[in-house]
Structure 1
Amino acid sequence: MKTLSRREFVRISAMGAGAAVLSVGISGCLPQDDDGLTISFKHGVASGDPLAHSVILWARVTPQKSANSVSISWEVATDSNFINLVTNGSTTTSADKDYTVKIDAAGLSSGTTYYYRFRSNGVYSATGRTQTLAEGAVDQVKLAVISCSNYPAGYFHVLNEIARRDDLNAVLHLGDYIYEYARDGYASSDAAAMGREVLPETELFELSDYRTRYALYRTDADMQSFHASLPIISVWDDHEIANDTWREGAENHNDGEGDFSERKAAAIQAYFEWLPIRPFTEGDNETIYRSFHFGDLVDLHMLDTRLIGRDEQLDYADYMDSEGNFDSDTFTADLTDATRTMMGTDQLAWLQGELAADSGAWQVLGNQTLMGKMLLPSSIALQQVSVADYATLAYLYQLYAISQAGGTLTDDQQAYLTANADQLTDANYALVTADNIPYNLDAWDGYYYEREVLFGTVRAYGRNLVVVSGDTHNSWANNLSDASGNAVGVEFAGTSVSSPGMEYYLGTTADDEAGIVSIVDGLQYANLTDRGYLVVTFTASQAQAEWQYVSSVKTESYTMQEDRYHSLTVSHGNNTIG
């Protein structure tokens, strides 16, 4: 099949998607109801991309029967009873837009909470609450950070917890809002028992497939209450299209599955239809990197590290010979190639310009994948040994080294060494002394040079950098440093809403967390087992990260795990955690 050019892709991806109706004041003439059409608002309401004087409002009407055009009106007020209206208006939607509507409610006051609702054919939607960004001097900004909401993997209790809060300014969704797999795909083993099997039953390829999957997610009660409670600032990751997507393909796009660019265009159209996101430029729905400014306190730059500029991921299998030996020299050369890009030259130039112009106390990057250096012994990264077994062997060899050097062991240590002397083999020694390599080549560790350029820019402008990340389904905190060891900033990474993490892939447990932290340079915190969300609070003096976890996503009832709560801070001007 024909591969679309960049210009053709932008044109197709923009068709019927992304455009928002501008609302600037009170309208005295709203549409009359069509008595012959029965509709409902079964997918809730949402708001997003708040600015100081505007915010995107979203709704979808569900007509009882197909309609060429459905009229819909909206109201925005400063009170939940809609007595003090500030703007209203009307528009139409149709099947071409999947019956979605997006309103760019403009002319609003900064730093203000608003209520909004939609009406069609005599039926009102649920009431949503949103807020605009503050201008000028700002004392505090509080942002929730989430990612990876996998419907068949578990209940969205995390979203319910966020909806219950009234102290947040916005939520950053860092991708994997949906997953593209078929009903028997990834993390679906408990879906039938929980009543959370996906629609459509097949993998997503066509526009109608992606639309149906979004519609399913948005029937979830926790998802609806979450969206109705506060504005979302979102970027996509890979699963909105297909697993491990890059610029021209994906791991989960295979021979016989059609042209990838057409699949990507369909996925992007559905994303812009169903998410309250404002296009970077009108008519271009591929570019989603954009900035938000919370007064003089936080400059937020949302990145696209997935679609627009990413080169294909490296694969360790390509560097292994027939005998299982790893070609580290060739791998290192490819990894550090100066032409290798994750963001692309246009986005990198844009970000450098934004960082140069920023005037806020903190510079925050909303970023899909881990930016910190997650270097693990190759025996762990290549799954030749578990984390727990590695730690056991490392301890054994530590005792052996002390003994061989004439050091003193306790009686218990000597007894342990004697009892396990048969484990001191050449094969186990090779596992323990294996070189460190990146755990995940899909993350920034697989795009070494561009990360160094970014870090150099941050240092050149003396910025106070906080990176927030998703993707891994586990929680992390990293001190970020360049190749010379200079402190650049910090990274706070949140776990998933429902997708399983490292415990699913490597069998890690909570007992392994301290071991992982001790192995990885720069790593300050890890949670390897729990689902939850991250809140980052910014003041002029510090940024505080708080990780909150639910007891389970597999049961309808749950509690918050107070014993797993964790908090870390970075002081302004310090660039390191602690």
Structure 2
Amino acid sequence: MNGKDNMPVTELPTHLPTNTGRRGFVIKMSSVAAVLASGGVLTACGGSGSTSILNGEQAAFNYGVASGDPLADRVILWTHAKVSTDDTVELTWQMAADASFAAVLFSGKVNATKDASFTAKVDVTGLAANTEYFYRFVAPNNSISPVGRTRTLPVGNVAEVKLAVFSCSDYPAGYFNAYDAAVSSGAQFALHLGDYIYEYKDGVYPPVASQVAGRVSAPASETVTVADYRARHALHKADPYLKALHARMPMIAIWDDHEFANNAWMDGAENHNPATQGAWSARKAAASQVYHEWMPIRTPDTSNLLKIYRSFDFGNLLSLHMLDTRIIGREQAPDRMVDAQGRDVANPQFLPYAFNKNKQLMGLTQQAWLDTQMTASKATWQVLGNQTVMGRVQLPASVLSTNLSTASVTAYLTAKATPVASQTQAQKDLLDVTKNPKISYTFDNWEGYPNARDTVFASAAKLKTAGKKFLVLSGDSHNAWFNKLTLADGTQVGAEFAGMSVTSSGFEGVFPPEVVPPATLAGTVKALVDDISYIDTYRRGYMLITLTPTLAKADYVYVSTVTSSSYTTSVDTLTYAG
């Protein structure tokens, strides 16, 4: 996969606008002519990278360009520039109103240094609100990076915002077709809700037999050190589809566990062994350092790289609050109790509601910050960019402990449909939550932190009273959901659009479609869980979220495959009026 020309053309969803070319490696062909006219050298844009002579050596922009964390008057610009001598590369950054750079509006200097892994970031200020800009980096001898397109946030009365939302992009699991599809979606901004990279040793997740040919992790070892994480980030940034996405629109990103290690929390992770991998604090510091180097993120606190929660205001339409529910304040999740066969033990004492109720997910400081931000905001929509599923996804223990067997599902749903006066004692026992408690399929999400979730929902209830609308965007689960967000008494305070993964496998790994038809599984889950309105358990893709003053619309854009770069798309659409 060296660039655009050797990739087959794929179908686009017919209802989505196509504002750019199919692959988007060069934002506009006019930029090529502009570069040549300026005396620069531009070769293999977005494929093997642009190169030029610098002091007798090649200076490469092998990972393209990216922008991120836009505000109304500023945006982060990012690139990577390297020469073989490890010398610092002095770059000039430029911003213009069009891809020809006929008139450079803003420019300045920034260095790509060895200490920062030869990445370079600049926070460009003084920009006009709600404005699209083109940008590039120029090295000595007029070598020029690929051209990127970015935009600032709107102010005042805003009629519409479109967001492309991603999570869980495991490189060896498949092609990043979701990123490619979003380039031509009409989205103005990209959100990444975590698991931008995965830390596993090559061949572990997915196992070798399930890896897509040619998609091999680098380094081959598990990522533990600064050098490891840098190599893994570089692997992803070299992907042509991801480079095209970054070049097309600014990204607002937050990390989840796999930027560190699986099922991470403040003081450890399921996939971290201090005896062989050293102190968790050292690994956490390495991962966070590299994340700030390689992602187009504004660092809220340079003295604490673990603090990345932050807000973005899109005029009076929406305030987006990007949370860290993984590293800075999360206590260890409750363990799931299972029997010898790996089935859930149906015993109330093992429920998070019976113990660990006060465990923190965000931490008290971030929780107070979020409440303050949402209360002070004047925007109609208060939107959380959040890693893990927040809705009440709870299944009866009798069903979960049998892995959703037909007999257990039928027995429970029959009891649920039977009038109380006609129920047998066995049916009454099935519906009695003290005898047949409802249990989440995982305690790693908000289910393991009930008080923390109830605190957020209490804030959401106050927002509703104040005339604001509450919406959560979530990742992590690899499956697509639309959930009602409810108080303990069933009062709805908001909704959750939770997105499918870019490549990581979902429930189809547990319930193969050829064994359990996806429609059957989805219908069963919706019948068992009151707060779920939609679920897709087997397809990969991204969400295109469109927000207006009266409506939130989610286009769940599914790619037909991740095992080939040739794909088609299909769309399921859901709406929420608040």
- TM-score higher than 0.5: yes
Say whether residues 1:270 and 2:272 are aligned partners.
no
Say whether residues 1:53 and 2:73 are aligned partners.
yes
Structure 1 residue matching 2:525: 3-state secondary structure? helix
Is 1:153–1:190's contact at 8 Å kept on the other side of the alignment?
no
Structure 2: distance between partners of 1:193 and 1:351: 40
Q: Corresponding residue for 1:4?
A: none
Q: Corresponding residue for 2:251?
A: 232
Give how far 1:534 is off.
0.6
One-letter amino acid of the counterpart of residue 461, structure 1: L
Structure 1: distance between partners of 2:252 and 2:393: 27
Summarize deviations over 1:149-196 as a string: whole Å, max 9, x none: 11000000000001123x222111000000000111112435665200
Is 2:194–2:255's contact at 8 Å kept on the other side of the alignment?
yes
Is 2:136–2:147's contact at 8 Å kept on the other side of the alignment?
yes
Give how far 1:280 is off.
1.2
Q: Corresponding residue for 1:385?
A: 403
One-letter amino acid of the counterpart of residue 270, structure 1: V
Structure 2: distance between partners of 1:322 and 1:136: 54
Cα gap change, 1:44/1:322 in structure 2, threshold over 3 Å: closer, same or farther? closer
Is 1:290–1:302's contact at 8 Å kept on the other side of the alignment?
yes
Give how far 1:328 is off.
1.2
Q: Which moved more, 1:491-500 or 1:550-559?
A: 550-559
Q: Corresponding residue for 2:525?
A: 516
Is 2:300–2:310's contact at 8 Å kept on the other side of the alignment?
yes
Query: Gapped runs of 5+ residues in structure 2?
Result: 1-51
Is 1:304–1:368's contact at 8 Å kept on the other side of the alignment?
yes
Structure 1: distance between partners of 2:321 and 2:550: 20
Summarize deviations over 1:242-272 as a string: whole Å, max 9, x none: 0000011000012422100100100011111
Q: Corresponding residue for 1:22?
A: none
Structure 2: distance between partners of 1:77 and 1:322: 59
Q: Corresponding residue for 2:116?
A: 97
Summarize deviations over 1:82-112 as a string: whole Å, max 9, x none: 1121111112222110000001111110000
Residue pairs, 1:308-387, within 5 angstroms: 308-317=328-337, 326-329=346-349, 331-332=351-352, 334-335=354-355, 337-338=357-358, 340-382=359-401, 384-386=402-404
Structure 2: distance between partners of 1:395 and 1:345: 40
One-letter amino acid of the counterpart of residue 403, structure 2: V
Cα gap change, 1:371/1:115 in structure 2, threshold over 3 Å: closer, same or farther? same
Summarize deviations over 1:322-361 as a string: whole Å, max 9, x none: 99854413535554623x1100010001001101101001
Structure 1: distance between partners of 2:263 and 2:127: 39
Q: Corresponding residue for 1:139?
A: 159
Q: Corresponding residue for 1:532?
A: 541
Is 1:378–1:437's contact at 8 Å kept on the other side of the alignment?
yes
Q: Corresponding residue for 1:39?
A: 59
Q: Corresponding residue for 2:447?
A: 445
Query: Gapped runs of 5+ residues in structure 1?
Result: 1-31, 407-423
Q: Which moved more, 1:552-561 or 1:51-60?
A: 552-561
Give how far 1:377 is off.
2.2
Say whether residues 1:503 and 2:469 are aligned partners.
no
Structure 2 residue matching 1:478: 3-state secondary structure? strand
Cα gap change, 1:134/1:398 in structure 2, threshold over 3 Å: closer, same or farther? closer
One-letter amino acid of the counterpart of residue 450, structure 1: A
Q: Corresponding residue for 2:229?
A: 210
**Aligned pairs, number:** 514
Structure 1: distance between partners of 2:340 and 2:486: 30
Is 1:533–1:547's contact at 8 Å kept on the other side of the alignment?
yes
Q: Corresponding residue for 2:204?
A: 185
Give how far 1:505 is off.
3.3
Q: Corresponding residue for 1:70?
A: 89
One-letter amino acid of the counterpart of residue 366, structure 2: Q
Q: Corresponding residue for 2:218?
A: 199
Q: Corresponding residue for 1:418?
A: none
Cα gap change, 1:380/1:398 in structure 2, threshold over 3 Å: closer, same or farther? closer
Structure 1: distance between partners of 2:552 and 2:342: 49
Picking from 564, 570, 575, the partner of 2:576 is 570
Q: Which moved more, 1:242-251 or 1:477-486?
A: 477-486
Cα gap change, 1:393/1:186 in structure 2, threshold over 3 Å: closer, same or farther? farther
Say whether residues 1:478 and 2:487 are aligned partners.
no
One-letter amino acid of the counterpart of residue 448, structure 1: P
Give how far 1:115 is off.
0.3
Structure 2 residue matching 1:222: 3-state secondary structure? helix
Q: Which moved more, 1:280-289 or 1:244-253?
A: 280-289
One-letter amino acid of the counterpart of residue 258, structure 1: G
Structure 2: distance between partners of 1:287 and 1:80: 35
RMSD of aligned Cα (Å): 2.9
Q: What TM-score do the two structures reach when normalised by structure 1?
A: 0.83
Structure 2: distance between partners of 1:190 and 1:217: 21
Cα gap change, 1:296/1:398 in structure 2, threshold over 3 Å: closer, same or farther? closer
Cα gap change, 1:69/1:395 in structure 2, threshold over 3 Å: closer, same or farther? closer
Cα gap change, 1:484/1:434 in structure 2, threshold over 3 Å: closer, same or farther? closer
Cα gap change, 1:329/1:429 in structure 2, threshold over 3 Å: closer, same or farther? closer
Structure 1: distance between partners of 2:300 and 2:563: 38
Structure 2: distance between partners of 1:460 and 1:170: 29
Structure 2: distance between partners of 1:176 and 1:390: 34
Is 2:174–2:212's contact at 8 Å kept on the other side of the alignment?
no
Picking from 459, 462, 479, the partner of 1:460 is 462
Is 2:202–2:216's contact at 8 Å kept on the other side of the alignment?
yes
Is 1:319–1:327's contact at 8 Å kept on the other side of the alignment?
no
Give how far 1:197 is off.
0.7
One-letter amino acid of the counterpart of residue 54, structure 1: R
Is 2:212–2:563's contact at 8 Å kept on the other side of the alignment?
no
Structure 1: distance between partners of 2:343 and 2:496: 38
Is 2:470–2:493's contact at 8 Å kept on the other side of the alignment?
yes
Say whether residues 1:469 and 2:487 are aligned partners.
no
One-letter amino acid of the counterpart of residue 303, structure 1: L
Give how far 1:502 is off.
1.2
Cα gap change, 1:389/1:97 in structure 2, threshold over 3 Å: closer, same or farther? farther
Q: What TM-score do the two structures reach when normalised by structure 2?
A: 0.83
Picking from 478, 485, 499, the partner of 1:494 is 499
Picking from 146, 159, 172, the partner of 1:126 is 146
Q: Corresponding residue for 2:36?
A: none
Structure 2: distance between partners of 1:135 and 1:429: 51
Picking from 525, 529, 554, the partner of 1:545 is 554
Cα gap change, 1:59/1:380 in structure 2, threshold over 3 Å: closer, same or farther? farther
Cα gap change, 1:374/1:460 in structure 2, threshold over 3 Å: closer, same or farther? same
Give how far 1:133 is off.
0.3
